[in-house]
Amino acid sequence: MALRTSTRLFNARLTAQRPALMAASIRSQSTLDTGEVIEDPQIGDYPNLPRWSTQSRGPFGWWDPQDKRNFGEAVHEEDELMGVWAPDLHTYSPYKALAQLGFVAAAIGGFSYLVYKTYPESPATRRTYPYDGLKAELGSREYDVRSRGARAEE
């Protein structure tokens, strides 16, 4: 009985510590940061913590700033999914991501077009060779798939 009471108090303390800003923030696209408590019959006496990712915690005020955790704080059962080192939580829509990718593609394409149109001509002329590109001198035959001659005069 004492363990269940302490677990409830611990869960209440964890949810009370979350800043009000996080409650008003945009819902992430990930299903990991929902805050729901999933009933797991195999968890035993371990505290059943809500599904809050530690990535959504603020950067300051933690005993362990790298993992955003206080000393003695229970680790979530699915810490590999709820920890700081888990796959990133994205708080923006896929449409915004596509718009950003489109903008970058347009910027790169525009810059490439600008360079293509303003690129100066080569100051030297290309070298040409007489006698049909020196085909006979280079050992070309009529049945060659690829001609062995150099650039011919035009």
**Per-residue pLDDT tens digits for 116-153:** 999 998 888 877 777 777 777 777 777 776 666 666 66
- Output the CA–CA distances (angstroms, integers) from residue 61 to 42, 57, 68, 73, in the order listed: 33, 10, 8, 14
Considering only the C-alpha atoms of the chain, give the largest distance between any 2 of them, rounded to a whole number of Å.
Answer: 102
Do residues 7 and 48 touch, judged by C-beta distance below 8 A?
yes
Determine the pLDDT at residue 25. 46
Residue 12 dihedral angles phi and psi, to the nearest 5°: -65, -40
CA 143 to chain centre: 54
Return d(Cα 34, Cα 32) in angstroms, integer.
6
pTM here is 0.43
Q: What is the pLDDT of residue 131?
A: 73
Q: How remote is the C-alpha of 6 from its chain's centroid?
A: 39
- Which of 127 and 45 is assigned the larger pLDDT? 45
* Rounded-to-integer distance, Cα 8 and Cα 2, Å: 10
Q: DSSP string spanning 107-119? A: HHHHHHHHHHHHP
Residue 49 and residue 37 in contact, taking contact as beta carbons nearer than 8 Å: yes
How many other C-beta atoms can be found within 10 angstroms of the C-beta atom of residue 43?
A: 12
DSSP 125: P
Output the pLDDT for position 116: 96
pLDDT tens, position by position, 71-107: 998 888 888 888 888 878 777 888 999 999 999 999 9
